[in-house]
Copies of this chain bind each other. A is one copy, B any other.
Amino acid sequence: MPTFGFHPYPAVVFQAANDLAYFHATTVASLDSQVKPHEYAPADADYNHPLPRTWSQSMNFNLHATDGAARAGAITTAHGTVETPIFMPVGTQATVKGLTPEMVRGVGAQIILGNTYHLTLRPGDELIRDLGGLHHFMNWPHPILTDSGGFQVFSLAEKRKITDHGAEFRSHLDGRLLELTPEKAVDIQQNLGSDIAMVLDECPPADAPPDVLRNALRRTTLWAERCRAHHTHPTQAQFAIVQGGLNLELRAESAAALIPMDFPGYALGGFSVGEKPEEMHAALPACAALLPATKPRYLMGVGRPQDLLIAVAAGIDMFDCVMPTRSGRNALAFTDTGPVKLRNAKHKRDPAPLMSGCDCDCCRNYSRAYLHHLFNAEEMLGPTLLSLHNLAYYLRLMREARTAILAGRFREFTETQTRGWS
């Protein structure tokens, strides 16, 4: 049974954990030792029924409206409700770079992402657990999703060796030899105490040959099963990841293998890994349609504002990407009339706000000339203000998309918005 109840969670979380732990202990936990998790969620389950309250499903998803394939819904977690479609700011190292949690919340963030790979290396997931979990550690009492660390092992770590057992690699920080198995990825995320955890997956590059894609898919399925079986956290939901690159047959095969395991949510991995945006756009509707309609659908690591709208149109509910914050730190801002490069000398004397009509603190209080000055003088406030604006922009885009879906005018909204960018 979970060791989590014994760690110093903030009181409200502790109560929620207790409620669910009680349910778990009396109703479902006993099944755990007798049957494989996926055995009580058959492949032909009717996905239009409410989610069964099985042991990992401490999360609820309600679909409020659809407009074509686009969906407006709400995910309820132990730390609050998230209205979808939603963009999740990336807080890699237990902080959204350059912003306080109050600022992140202030621009409308409802859920943020933490990185398993980075946090297990530094400061360590056991340390975070001992200090009350990631929410308490970083002062973000709202929902958190953590990735599994797989993507970073493939993109950042050195001398990695992948077998069916797991990944062996050296830390990009100090060269330490480390191992990430499906079970370890679950343990780390349970220590972090996120509301949504991701299974460990193998994420090959877009140009990987079919046999590599196929093997990654096989391994991802195997690892998902092991993650599902190892998971015990009472208030954490676990999402599976469908791989298969741009090959729709492989995507269908991956989804067909994962759906019977009855995860509370499903993600599309392996996009934004080197393919052309148009290739991803073309593949998204079919890929999204492979995922259960009654569960949240998360497109990992995507993307630009236009990518988000195209993905929402395809039926995606959740997004994360470093783009708004990383671009913000590099003086690139997203606006309704397209990207603005604040380092450009043409802004030197411009008294206009970055984007007129934007209600974020950056646009309400400062001129383009001031923002240009901050980047020119290498002042920290430049990255802070532009990260703030870009997140406000992304989050508003998703709020407005939601409103449009609820009103049945998502296509018009997308067309108007897209015209501004071009």
Interface residues of A, Cβ cutoff 8 Å to B: 8, 93-95, 97-102, 118, 122-123, 127, 130-132, 137-139, 348-349, 351, 361, 365-367, 369-370, 372-374, 376-377, 379-381, 383-385
Chain B residues positioned under 8 Å from A8 (CB to CB): 351
Check B139–A365 contact: CB distance below 8 A. yes
Instruction: Select A381's contact among B98, B365, B381, beta carbons within 8 Å.
Output: B98
What are 13 residue pairs bridging A and B, where the CB atoms are less than 8 Å apart in the complex?
A93-B379, A95-B379, A95-B381, A97-B380, A99-B381, A118-B377, A122-B373, A123-B373, A123-B377, A132-B351, A137-B367, A139-B370, A380-B384
| Chain B nearest Cβ from A37, distance in angstroms | 34
Whether A123 and B381, one on each chain, are in contact in the complex, defined by CB atoms closer than 8 angstroms, is no
Given contacts A100-B384, A380-B384, A384-B380, contact A94 B139 (CB under 8 A): no
A30 CB to closest chain B CB, in angstroms? 35
Question: Which residues on B sit within 8 Å (CB–CB) of A138?
Answer: 370
- Tell which of A132, A366, A372 has the most Cβ of chain B within 10 Å: A366
Do A122 and B384 touch across chains, with their CB atoms under 8 A apart? no
Query: Considering only CB atoms, which chain B residue lies closest to A102 in the complex?
Result: B361
Query: Known contacts being A100-B361, A100-B384, A384-B100, is A127 close to B379, with CB within 8 Å?
Result: no
Bound CA–CA A101/B374 (angstroms): 14
Query: Contacts of A102 on B, CB cut-off 8 Å?
Result: 361
Closest to A132 in B: B351
For A382, the closest partner residue in chain B by CB is: B95
- Contacting residues, chain B, for A361 (C-beta < 8 A): 100, 102
Nearest 6 CB-CB pairs, A to B? A123-B373, A139-B365, A98-B380, A93-B377, A95-B381, A95-B379
- The complex places the Cα of A8 from the Cα of B352 at a distance, in Å, of 13
* B100 and A376 form a contact (CB under 8 A): no
Extra contacts besides A98-B384, A123-B373, A139-B365 (19): CB < 8 Å:
A93-B379, A94-B373, A95-B374, A99-B381, A100-B384, A100-B385, A118-B377, A122-B373, A122-B376, A123-B369, A123-B377, A127-B348, A131-B349, A131-B351, A131-B370, A137-B370, A138-B370, A139-B370, A380-B380
CA distance A330 to B383 in the complex (A): 19
Q: Which residues of B contact A377 (CB under 8 A)?
A: 93, 118, 122-123
**Minimal beta-carbon separation of A362 from chain B (angstroms):** 10
B130 contacts A349, C-beta separation under 8 Å: yes
Asked whether A127 lies within 8 Å of B369 as measured between CB atoms, the reply is yes
The smallest beta-carbon distance between A105 and chain B, in angstroms, is: 12
Query: Bound state CA distance, A132 and B95, in angstroms?
Result: 35
Chain B residue at minimum C-beta to C-beta distance from A388: B100
CB of B98 within 8 A of CB of A131, answer no
Residues of B within 8 A of A372 (CB): 123
A381 to chain B: which residues have CB within 8 Å? 95, 97-100
Within 8 Å CB of A376, what residues of B?
122-123
Residue numbers in B under 8 Å from A348 (CB-CB)? 123, 127
Q: A100-B381, A381-B99 are in contact. Are A366 and B139 (CB under 8 A)?
A: yes
CA gap between A102 and B360 in the complex, in Å: 14
Which residues of B lie under 8 Å from residue A351 when comparing CB positions?
8, 131-132
A367 touches B131 (CB 8 A): yes
Q: A365 to chain B: which residues have CB within 8 Å?
A: 101, 139
CB-nearest residue of chain B to A126: B349
Kindly state the separation between the CA atoms of A374 and B98 in the bound complex, as whole angstroms.
11
Residues of B within 8 A of A374 (CB): 95
In the complex, which residues of chain B have a beta carbon less than 8 angstroms from the beta carbon of A349?
A: 127, 130-131
The complex places the Cα of A131 from the Cα of B371 at a distance, in Å, of 13
Most buried by B among A122, A138, A349, A373: A373
Q: Which residues of B contact A100 (CB under 8 A)?
A: 361, 381, 384-385
Residue on B nearest A103 in the bound complex, by CB: B100
Report the minimal beta-carbon distance from A379 to chain B, rounded to whole angstroms.
Answer: 5
